[in-house]
Structure 1
Amino acid sequence: MTGHARISLAGWGATVLGALVLTPVFSGPFLFISAFLCGAITGVGILLQNLRAPRIVVPFVQLVLLVELISFFFLRETLKFGLIPVKATALEFNQQMVNAMDSINRFSAPLPPDEHLTLFAASVIAATGLLIHLIAVQLRQAAWAGLLLLIMYTVPAATVHGGLPALLFVPPALGYILLLSAEGRSRLSRWGRRISGVSHLDAAEPVEASALGQAGRRIGLTVVALAALLPALLPTLPEGVIGNGLAGSGPGSGIGASISSTDPMLDMGKNLKRGDNVVALTYKGGPSGGSYLRLTALDFFDGDTWRIAPRQEGQKISGDLAPPPGYAGDLGKVPQSKMEIDVSRNFRSQFAPVPYPVRSISLKRDWRYDAGSLDVVSSNGQVVAGKNYDVTAYDLQPTPQQLHDAIGAGEPDQYSSRVPRRTPDDVEALAREITEDANGNPFAAAVLLQSWFRSDGGFTYSTDNSRGSGMRALRNFLLENKTGYCEQFATGMALMARIVGIPSRVGIGFLPGQAGEDGEYTVRMHDMHAWPELYFQGIGWVRFEPTPAARVASTPNWTVPATPDPTSPSTAPTTAPISPGATEDPGIERPEGDRNLPDDSGVAVIDDGNWFTNGGGRTIAIVAGVLLLLSIPWLIRTLTRRRRFARAPGRLGAEGLWAEIRDTSRDLGLDWSDISTPRQSGDWLVTQLPAEVHPQALRLARGIEALRYAGGTDLTLDLRTEAAAVRKALWSRAPQLRRWRARLLPPSWRWYLSRGSTEASDLLDEFDLLLARLRSLALRRRHAN
């Protein structure tokens, strides 16, 4: 086999083995497709090089083949004549990549086996295989190809919740060693027969222990060690730093949740499923029974993601905010309530939790509000964690009759009525079927949708469903598995409301929380919630509650029809137990014993005023860890010195004492020579020591010389007294600065690291020797047969 073919096949194997680390992230047949694509690239490369094609031509042909295969497998309907990629192919590929990145940001690992995600994974792995072939075969720098394998391992290791299984590090490490070994054999083969540097077998046997092979193994060992240690040494990155997870900023203890302006729905879902159920905020005042606190509203839906629509710059907070959008009544006659909200340092959000619709808020500087949604957001990226502020809100309580008599739904904006073109026909048909008995009345249709989600549709509440709110996931939720949490219920009802002509958006915020003493409510992270808001002309945005009673006991009282339907329990008043001081209106209590609901038991309440729990403990741990890390060299030298002086007299003990004098000299910056004899080193020591220690230095040097070279030497010679005197004298004559450096960062410690690397490389040489012996034994048996 030619050298380039061997390296090419090794590159293919390294790519496939490296891709195994992505199995906890992606699902479906991505690995088999990737292996085929990389195999095709490798085969074409070997063929072209055997035909002696110009080196620069090979990667371009491989790239063309890769584009053709990916287009044929995933984008076949866009190909001209079913074979030639055109502009439409590139546009569709770009759209699929955008959809894949959005899914990666939204879903928890493992990702669903959607076609665009399989395309993304296969394209990335195949492109990595192409680059590895280019670097290892065309540029003949196989060692640098390890960086690609390192990245392929490090990215999922840093982003997958809980980290990757430890054994998944083995395949890419083996692939890299395989690649280095293939390159080493190819380089040596150019010089003829391979050289056996450490083997006692015949020189023709395939044992590689030359200086070049050792250098390659040392490079491989270094890169493998970096790949193993880097994810462990780096602090856990906030999810979202590398394309997945939370994107909050600002101070915080690392416990709690973050809500960003980029994707609030994603942040809420991750907190409900994985976050700690610590206190988010407390508040006093407001309506009897507590109040929903809203962060923002998502009004833009493109078929994949619910997000905040493009907005103008927020308005400054000065006096009263804008009136509730769509409300045509006299606000002077609407009851108002005042609240004092104290946000925990655990809740890092660029949005301030406020009741809807808020009239005024004491946050002024660096905070703005949007007139269309009445959410309050930071203007400079700071978070609301640790803030205490007062709000005044309108207590809008429309009656069912007012909502029933609302004249049309109206069009509040250009986004909240938009139904994506990719909405499945069966979902649209289902929405119209559910609301058929409404006879065209928007409020009646909304109540029917709410009732269907809460009871009539046979849904189950569970946070185990992590498939998000994209169109494919919504269809699966509405028509097939019917299991989800508040995100799916809110977005499902909002989409269906738009289908039947009711403008809608999705509110993100908190349930009213748990009532306590002195009228104070405590809201925890697992009280985060999503709900649909529907628009009615003359009344404005109205909250509905499609999430089943397993999570929210009752619906808002204004969603109960004027003539209740006894067969619709979701719209009838509930007798669910409520907390002390609460009313049935908010409907937030959860029944006990549901294993799918967030459990408050056993979770300690964090005191916002406690410095230790709000980041102080973590700071102490980090400082202690840094100090421990910095003390490792000192600790190793101290233990080594004690072990050397504790050895019994004899040859081994004396050599340990001589090594201690050598290391002390190096630590203090003295020029110790490794090539000098003991006699020469003793004469040199005399020049570095005061006169009273000269006899001890000479006895120590002569004793080591005798033990090494004299045959009749006393093997019980004890040199500990002389070694201790010499070491003490060396230490006393050194400048103060060198003493501190010798304590904190002794240079001799670096020498031991270098020695350890050499010994590790020697172990690899022994491994090569073992393989050679096994191969030789197999060849002998085959010839004997």
Structure 2
Amino acid sequence: MKLPIAAGLATAAVSLTLYPLFNGGSWFWTSMGAILVVTGASAATIRLRAPLWAGPPIMFLSLALYLTLAFAYNLAWLWIIPTKSSVYMIGMLVTAGFEDIQQFAAPVPASEGVTLLTAGGVGLIAVLVDLFAVRLRQAALAGLPLLALFCVPVEVMPDPIGWPAFVLGAFGYVGLLVADGRERLGQWGRAVLVRRSRASHARTTPDTGRLALSGRRIGVTAVALAIVLPALLPNLTPSPLMSFGVGNGTGPGGSSITIPDAIAELGGQLRQQENATVLTYTSSDDQPRYLRIYSLDIFDGRKWTLSKITAGEEDRVSEGPLPAPPGLAPGAAVKRAETQIAISDDIGPLRFLPLPYPATQVDADGDWRADQNSLMVYSTKDQAAGLSYHVVTGEPEPTPEQLEASVPDPQSDRYLELPPGLDPRVAAMAAQVTAGATSEYQQAMKLQEWFTRTGGFTYSLEAQGSGGRALSRFVLTDRTGYCEQFASAMAVMARMLGIPARVAIGFTGGSKVGDSWMVRTHDAHAWPELYFSGVGWLRFEPTPAGGAGQGTAQVPQYTLPVLPNASPSATPSAGASSGPDDTSGTSGPQVRNPRDFERDLGAAPQIQETGTPITVKIALGLAAALVLALIPAAVRLLVRGRRRRLVASGGIRRGVSAVQAAWTELCDLLIDYGMARNPGESPRALSRRLAERLGGDTRTGPAVIAAITTITSAEERRRYARTAYEPAPKAADLATVKKALASAVSRKRRLAAALTPPSTLMWVRALGEKALDGFDRLENIRPSLRGQRGTADGAEREDRGEVREPTLTGPRS
């Protein structure tokens, strides 16, 4: 009976690690119900002495009945027995759950389908744990299904699991091992009864208390080391199972990093309630600019991913200008701009620099390198948090005539690749939307206009997913989503039309605050980049902007229709600037000394609301550490004050008398000053010992001896006499004893007694031991009839003076 309950508790404890995956708590209660049903079925088979092989089928059947009751009771017979309709409903919910899991980024809303899959999966894990621990009696192997359950959030979530959830799961597994060990030892041997005294306690099973205590201590120590040691070791770069490889160099032994799922991170940032500042920047023309972090160029039918990139020593940004933008012809018109970017200290791990595209020069401290194909700048050694850097860009300024004349480029064919199995209706819709277009540029313009104006699309953060089915629903029916869906759909449809395309992840230009542009968490954005020969990669914006969409999104100037008979000044570019920095029509971007740029601006941009200064953080950390260190002293002061008030009142409060309070305070004072009372030392013996040590001073000795005698005599009479405790101890007696104890020890001991009183620490230790004893609660569970009969028989024998204790004679046959 005990082992199935321990297996169920272990499964429930580990299932708590799933909490980051869901919004809402319906999954939790439904999963706990599944564990309860499986555990109850297992305990029932053992109680009824069913064959061991019958346990798993009965548990599976019980789980199926529970899921039917929870999700299809209205279609089942008597609410619980499956029918053809209820089975069909369960199948539909399972299909919908798999689709939601494929489309949604964590944390996902706990829909019926997702909740069904979660509860069913947790229930199956509970069956496997019971199979290993109870049926096969291999409790250690039960850790394998528990580990599989634990690995789900580890694989999906980019952030680590919180240590409280890890501790609960680990203790659940340790508790299962302890329960299994105690049951094994408890069934070893047979008891041979020998006569004992009437006051002795009757035992009919081996004493496993010491073994259980050792097991608990070993388990707690292992869990504590698993939490504390990683915090003390140097940081290691994590390698999530779902990540994109990035490396330095081309040979073996080069440094490498991994980045999490960019699409999942984007959805998480947009759904955060807190809209924190990510970075601020200033530019030479005071215009907003999209800041790209990742360039995703592979679509596998489910999501966009990043191909592996490498960079050698020669690709360090400190070595000179970045590689020329791919596809940009020599002599093409470009607009040169300079940007100073300052990233907040409070952002998470980030090894890629947010940059306007295309950057021609980056001046940043650290080992930052540029990928030649995508111009992404990254580092395997440094983090972007808190970094301030300078960027020079040469932005193409294409004319409609140049874009109309673009021809296919064989070098960009890999950006046309699409996986098989995509819905052909999406390609038909792309052809229908772009009907009448005579060039790739016109096709791209019509696609953007269809998404932003004529297609009936709406912006919503509730829709998620970028897979094939999600793409079909988004394009053909729902037409609701946020930037991820818009960017992915336009890039895929562009490839279907023969236009090279990829998806960029980064931030929009943000909002103007003072003299700087501020980019916040909700400015996280995805957009498509399309390739045109002679110009290179150009940004398009299919996501609706303004009040009905993403507020800071902006349509590029070169995608706007040109008004007839309009002069060039009538339609100014969104990034246009006047002055000596404008080099439109020149042969290419020119690199300028970053120091000249900073001098022209007068100073580096000021960071606004980018986080708490590092000095303040250090001060707050030291203050927090001091507060934690002083908690024992504060607790000791509160307890001492409460006891003195009770002694002064001379009464009884919550069952504790003034004499008890004075005696307990005396014992704690002795512990604090290193003169602790021995466990078998009586009040009178303690009084003699203290009088010999503290009563030597002729001036203060008599008063100290009198105070000690008053306290110990009152305690002695409280224990052994029925008369009043006269003379009763007073608060002044405690003060006298405390002063004498302090004068009898060193200054170091006095300081320790004030700041880290051992009496309080011993109380904390005792509390921890009580928490460890929680594992023994399972020992109190007994079969009702059998346990009551055994107890009655034992009581009867004890009344006759026949209480006996067992000895072990060897293993059972």
Query: In which range does the TM-score fall when normalised by the shorter chain?
Result: 0.5 to 0.7
Q: In the TM superposition, what is the alpha-carbon distance from 1:325 to its structure 2 partner? A: 0.9
Matches of 1:480 and 1:445, distance apart in 2: 22
Q: What is the aligned partner in structure 1 of residue 448 from structure 2?
A: 450
Q: What is the aligned partner in structure 2 of residue 688 from structure 1?
A: 693
**SS of corresponding position for 1:406:** coil
Deviations, residues 757-776 of structure 1 (Å, cap 9, x unaligned): 67786999899699979x98
- Partner of residue 529 from structure 1, selected from 525, 528, 543: 525
Q: What is the aligned partner in structure 1 of residue 660 from structure 2?
A: 655
Q: What is the aligned partner in structure 2 of residue 376 from structure 1?
A: 377
Matches of 1:768 and 1:750, distance apart in 2: 30
Matched, 1:432 2:437: no
Q: What is the aligned partner in structure 2 of residue 646 from structure 1?
A: 645
Matches of 1:729 and 1:406, distance apart in 2: 96
Matched, 1:555 2:560: no
Q: What is the aligned partner in structure 1 of residue 21 from structure 2?
A: 25
Q: What is the aligned partner in structure 2 of residue 251 from structure 1?
A: none
Matches of 1:644 and 1:490, distance apart in 2: 69
Name the amino acid aligned to 1:718: P
Give unmatched runs, 5+ long, in structure 1: 70-95, 196-202, 248-258, 565-572, 583-605, 777-785
Contact 1:645 1:720 in 2 (8 A): yes
Structure 1 residues 346 and 679: CA distance shift in structure 2, 3 A: closer
Matches of 1:644 and 1:494, distance apart in 2: 74
Q: What is the aligned partner in structure 2 of residue 676 from structure 1?
A: 681
Matched, 1:546 2:547: no
The 5 Å alignment of 1:288-307 reads 289-307=287-305
Contact 2:362 2:389 in 1 (8 A): no
Name the amino acid aligned to 2:398: P
Deviations, residues 336-368 of structure 1 (Å, cap 9, x unaligned): 233333444345643333322222233375122
- Partner of residue 481 from structure 1, selected from 458, 478, 482: 478
Structure 1 residues 703 and 615: CA distance shift in structure 2, 3 A: same
Matches of 1:24 and 1:189, distance apart in 2: 41
Contact 1:284 1:340 in 2 (8 A): yes
- Partner of residue 751 from structure 2, selected from 740, 765, 770: 740
Deviations, residues 62-113 of structure 1 (Å, cap 9, x unaligned): 9xx99xx9xxxxxxxxxxxxxxxxxxxxxxxxxx9xx999969943234778
Q: What is the aligned partner in structure 2 of residue 366 from structure 1?
A: 367
- Partner of residue 284 from structure 1, selected from 282, 285, 307: 282
Deviations, residues 226-250 of structure 1 (Å, cap 9, x unaligned): 999x99xx99xx9x97969999xxx
Name the amino acid aligned to 2:376: D
**SS of corresponding position for 1:366:** coil
Structure 1 residues 522 and 646: CA distance shift in structure 2, 3 A: closer
Q: In the TM superposition, what is the alpha-carbon distance from 1:211 to its structure 2 partner? A: 7.2
Matches of 2:403 and 2:337, distance apart in 1: 23
Name the amino acid aligned to 1:641: R
Name the amino acid aligned to 2:370: Y
Q: In the TM superposition, what is the alpha-carbon distance from 1:281 to its structure 2 partner? A: 3.5
Matches of 2:570 and 2:148, distance apart in 1: 57
Matches of 2:511 and 2:8, distance apart in 1: 58
Contact 1:33 1:122 in 2 (8 A): no
Contact 2:132 2:141 in 1 (8 A): no
Contact 2:277 2:518 in 1 (8 A): yes
**SS of corresponding position for 2:504:** strand
Q: What is the aligned partner in structure 2 of residue 634 from structure 1?
A: 633
Contact 2:527 2:539 in 1 (8 A): yes
**SS of corresponding position for 1:312:** strand
Matches of 1:715 and 1:222, distance apart in 2: 49
Judge which range, 742-751 or 27-36, deviates more: 27-36
**SS of corresponding position for 1:532:** strand
Q: In the TM superposition, what is the alpha-carbon distance from 1:326 to its structure 2 partner? A: 1.0
Q: What is the aligned partner in structure 2 of residue 463 from structure 1?
A: 461
Matched, 1:496 2:493: yes
Matches of 1:756 and 1:474, distance apart in 2: 57
**SS of corresponding position for 2:309:** coil
Deviations, residues 568-610 of structure 1 (Å, cap 9, x unaligned): xxxxx9999x99999xxxxxxxxxxxxxxxxxxxxxxx96389
Deviations, residues 673-715 of structure 1 (Å, cap 9, x unaligned): 1222221221222233132133443343333323332333445
Give unmatched runs, 5+ long, in structure 2: 65-94, 194-200, 245-256, 579-604, 789-813
Matches of 1:161 and 1:312, distance apart in 2: 25
**SS of corresponding position for 1:526:** helix
Deviations, residues 153-198 of structure 1 (Å, cap 9, x unaligned): 9979x9799999x99x9999999999999998998788999x9xxx
Matches of 2:151 and 2:214, distance apart in 1: 20
Matches of 2:104 and 2:688, distance apart in 1: 69
Contact 1:511 1:528 in 2 (8 A): yes
Contact 1:10 1:178 in 2 (8 A): yes
Matches of 1:753 and 1:154, distance apart in 2: 36
Q: In the TM superposition, what is the alpha-carbon distance from 1:655 to its structure 2 partner? A: 2.1
Matched, 1:513 2:518: no
Structure 1 residues 260 and 341: CA distance shift in structure 2, 3 A: farther
Deviations, residues 441-466 of structure 1 (Å, cap 9, x unaligned): 3222212211221122211112333x
Matched, 1:625 2:590: no
Q: In the TM superposition, what is the alpha-carbon distance from 1:260 to its structure 2 partner? A: 7.9
Matches of 1:364 and 1:179, distance apart in 2: 52
**SS of corresponding position for 2:356:** coil
Q: TM-score, normalised by structure 1?
A: 0.67
The 5 Å alignment of 1:103-122 reads 106-110=105-109
The 5 Å alignment of 1:265-284 reads 265-274=263-272, 276-284=274-282
Matches of 2:308 and 2:750, distance apart in 1: 63
**SS of corresponding position for 2:378:** strand
Contact 2:14 2:168 in 1 (8 A): no
Matches of 2:394 and 2:175, distance apart in 1: 68
Matched, 1:263 2:261: yes
Q: In the TM superposition, what is the alpha-carbon distance from 1:542 to its structure 2 partner? A: 1.5
Matches of 2:297 and 2:619, distance apart in 1: 44
Contact 2:279 2:610 in 1 (8 A): no
Matched, 1:704 2:704: no
Higher relative contact order (CA 8 A, sep 6+): 2
Q: What is the aligned partner in structure 2 of residue 725 from structure 1?
A: 736
The 5 Å alignment of 1:170-319 reads 261-274=259-272, 276-287=274-285, 289-313=287-311, 315-317=315-317, 318-319=319-320
Structure 1 residues 425 and 172: CA distance shift in structure 2, 3 A: farther
Deviations, residues 123-159 of structure 1 (Å, cap 9, x unaligned): 6764565345534665586999799599969979x97
Paired residues, what number?
665
Matches of 1:178 and 1:364, distance apart in 2: 52
Q: In the TM superposition, what is the alpha-carbon distance from 1:488 to its structure 2 partner? A: 1.4
The 5 Å alignment of 1:124-163 reads 126-127=124-125, 129-131=127-129, 133-135=131-133, 138-139=136-137
Contact 2:240 2:258 in 1 (8 A): no
Matches of 1:617 and 1:376, distance apart in 2: 31
**Percent pairwise identity:** 28
**SS of corresponding position for 1:684:** helix
Contact 1:515 1:580 in 2 (8 A): no
Q: In the TM superposition, what is the alpha-carbon distance from 1:273 to its structure 2 partner? A: 2.0
Deviations, residues 195-241 of structure 1 (Å, cap 9, x unaligned): 9xxxxxxx99xx999976899799999999x999x99xx99xx9x97
Contact 1:293 1:356 in 2 (8 A): yes
Q: TM-score, normalised by structure 2?
A: 0.65
- Partner of residue 15 from structure 1, selected from 8, 11, 19: 11
Matches of 2:688 and 2:293, distance apart in 1: 79
Structure 1 residues 402 and 772: CA distance shift in structure 2, 3 A: same
Name the amino acid aligned to 1:630: A
Name the amino acid aligned to 1:7: L
Contact 1:107 1:468 in 2 (8 A): no
Structure 1 residues 397 and 36: CA distance shift in structure 2, 3 A: farther
Q: What is the aligned partner in structure 2 of residue 603 from structure 1?
A: none
Matches of 2:520 and 2:663, distance apart in 1: 65
Name the amino acid aligned to 1:351: F
